[in-house]
Chains A and B, each alone.
Chain A
Amino acid sequence: MEFKISKKVEEMQPSGIRAFFDLVLGMKDVISLGVGEPDFVSPWNVREKAIYSLEQGYTSYTSNKGMPELRKQISSFLKKRYSLSYGWDDEVLITAGVSEGLDLVMRTILNPGDKVLIPEPSYVSYGPVVSLTGGVPIFIETSVKNDFKVTPKQISDKCGKGVKAILFNYPCNPTGASYTKKELKEIASVVKKHNLLVISDEVYDELTYDFDHTAFPSLKDMKNRTIYLNGVSKSYAMTGFRIGWAVGPKKIIAGMTKIHQYTMLCTSINSQIAASEALKNGFNSVQFMKREYQRRRRYIVDALNDIGLECHCPQGTFYVFPSIKSTKQKSIDFAKNLLKSKKVALVPGVAFGKSCEGHVRISYASSYEDLKEAIFRIQSYLKKI
């Protein structure tokens, strides 16, 4: 007899994208613009600290919430960077990347049927983590006309019975879109009017290029209604260490901690020590990587427009989200054809929402040489079709 798995899990979308991913992973000598992580290895001081921690015998559990030293650092970092005051002991939780933080926060705040607004294109896990808790994701389509930014009116229009929260991500994976302080203030006023909770995924905050990043809880009246998520993955090129943090109102953090202690218990002690070193001595590495990404961004945006794939210039991350409408192909077909004929991998837009058809996500977290070669290959593919 075959056992059935939970309905909710069964309903989760693996879709055609999974098969495409398998195709990419099984292929050799691919130039990949489909990678969602930095092409830098974690800074040496961070790696050295992690190695040393093992030599010293740090192999135990830590406090559920995370090591006090790391939480204190995060608290003082937020104070210094964004003038935000959070108590390190009851308003900061160390999670296994922002991904775990997201899951915890949804399970903490949602009852079945509660609705969560999610601007689309959105990171792939947003919809599923909301649905898994019994919540209902309500997507708000944004478009290139608006630089993929959600407007206060769009939020307002979707607010209504049962809408409890908005899940915000800026700079945004996959579009790179981000918001100025002025734009955020306008969004904050709608959020307040409709009494929404805000889950703000700001893991790409350090990779903002055209203006200073504003943390959502630093806006007037937003701190007590925002769960701020961040981590070391993108800024410090530490994806594999799996360290993120959730910062927010005591009651919500306490709720998240309850789930975390039963499911994750705590994150790896060595990773926490490495993250602590990154926050302490990693500033120069972040700035170095940011300058490098900034140069590649200029190159890739111009190059894509030059070869006929319309591409807006994003304000942050290491992604661009060009249109492939000129090819008249579906994004998954475009990605497959390009992979098969030219061995260039990228992520079809539909992975980030139904409304994202006609776009692909290109990551410029690759060496300049690889980017040049990839552009050359895409161009020769476009000439053939």
Chain B
Amino acid sequence: MDEILEALSNDARITPQELSKLTGKSLAAVKSDIKKYEKKGVIVKYKAVINNDLLDDSKPKVRALIEVSIVPQKDVGFDRIAERIYSFDEVISCSLVSGTYDLLVIVEGDNIQTVSNFIASKLSPMEHVRGTATHFLLKKYKEDGQILKKKRKMARLNISY
């Protein structure tokens, strides 16, 4: 991966000035690279990884991982039906996978009922959807390569040769 992308995927708040210092590229080159990546869609967006479990939220959101089996359509394969599914706001992630089912869909809702309703009223009855299996997520340990538990401080001595 390009150095700029590697640094940004680790810390999206890093400034072009800092990136220029860290990579040895000129500020102008860094800015133009970032623009290029944004335009091309390589950089999709800049976001924070949030550990919802630690939020003082009286109404925590509920997530479910849904295995969806579908019948591929002529000419467009799985893409069209995938688009119909991922266009719902409730769907936060959607991927085509190999194995015993076809789409892996992650859905978020205010509670179990809203998620269940979404599945029962929107997803399952959809044309070409053969079946679904739903797993509610209980606890998140790691997301986007980031371990959510707070890291313990390293036991290094403050000074050594």
Q: Give the interface of A toward B (CB within 8 A).
A: 21, 24-25, 27, 30, 32, 34-37, 39, 41, 123-125, 173, 291, 295-296, 298-299, 302-303, 345, 347, 351, 368
A295 close to B158 (CB less than 8 A):
no
CB contacts under 8 Å to A, within B4-25, are 6-7, 18, 21-24
Per-residue interface assignment for chain B, residues 126 to 161, with 1 indicating a CB less than 8 Å from any chain A CB and 0 otherwise: 000000000000000000000000000010111111
Can you give 9 A-B contacts (C-beta < 8 A)? A21-B159, A30-B158, A37-B160, A39-B154, A295-B7, A296-B22, A298-B22, A347-B159, A347-B161
Q: Is the CB of A291 within 8 A of B6?
A: yes
Q: Does B3 contact A (CB under 8 A)?
A: yes
> How many A-B contacts at CB < 8 Å in the complex?
51
In the complex, how many angstroms separate the beta carbon of B10 from the nearest chain A beta carbon?
9
Most chain A CB atoms below 10 A, which of B3, B6, B157:
B157
Query: With A and B bound together, what is the CA distance between A21 and B160 in angstroms?
Result: 8
- Taking CB as reference atom, which chain B residue is nearest A34? B159
- A27 CB → nearest B CB, Å: 8
* Structural contact, B158 and A24, CB atoms closer than 8 A: yes
Chain B residue nearest to A347 (CB atoms) is: B159
The residues of B that contact A37 with a CB separation of less than 8 Å are 156, 160
For the complex, give the distance between the alpha carbons of A30 and B156 in Å. Answer: 12
Given known A-B contacts A291-B6, A295-B3, A295-B7, A34 and B158 have beta carbons under 8 A apart: yes
Query: Which of chain A's residues has its CB closest to B6's CB?
Result: A291
Among B6, B154, B156, B158, the one with the most A-chain Cβ atoms within 10 Å of its Cβ is B158
Q: How large is the interface on B (under 10, 10 to 19, 20 to 34, 35 or more residues)?
A: 10 to 19
Chain A proximity of B153: nearest CB distance (Å): 11
B158 near A298 with CB under 8 A, answer no
Shortest distance from the beta carbon of A139 to any chain B beta carbon, whole Å: 17
> B6 to chain A: which residues have CB within 8 Å?
291
Query: Do residues B22 and A299 form an inter-chain contact, with CB atoms below 8 A?
Result: yes
CB distance from B86 to the nearest CB of A (A): 32
The smallest C-beta distance from B145 to any residue of chain A, in angstroms, reads 12
- Expressed in whole angstroms, the minimum distance between the Cβ of A14 and any Cβ of chain B is 13
How does the 8 Å CB contact mask read for B80-93 relative to A, with 1 for contact and 0 for none?
00000000000000
Partner of A39, one of B7, B24, B156, B160: B156
Residues of B within 8 A of A291 (CB): 3, 6
Chain B residues lying within 8 Å of A299, measured Cβ to Cβ, are 18, 21-22
Q: Given that A291-B3, A291-B6 are known contacts, is A298 also in contact with B157, CB under 8 Å in the complex?
A: no
Given contacts A32-B159, A35-B157, A295-B7, 11 further A-B contacts (CB under 8 A): A34-B158, A34-B160, A35-B156, A37-B156, A125-B161, A291-B3, A295-B3, A299-B18, A303-B21, A345-B158, A368-B22
Chain A, residue nearest B7 (CB): A295
Tell me, in angstroms, the Cα distance from A30 to B158 when the chains sit together. Answer: 8
Say yes or no: A36 contacts B158, CB within 8 Å.
no
Q: How far is the CB of A127 from chain B (nearest CB, A)?
A: 13
Chain A residues contacting B7 (CB-CB under 8 Å) are: 295
Q: With a CB–CB cut-off of 8 A, which chain B residues contact A298?
A: 21-24
User: Are B161 and A173 in contact, CB atoms less than 8 angstroms apart?
Assistant: yes
CA distance A91 to B7 in the complex (A): 42
B154 and A123 contact, CB distance less than 8 A: no
Q: Which of A27, A124, A296, A302 contacts B161 (CB under 8 A)?
A: A124
- Residues of chain B contacted by A173 (CB below 8 angstroms): 161
In the complex, chain B residues whose CB is within 8 Å of the CB of A125: 161
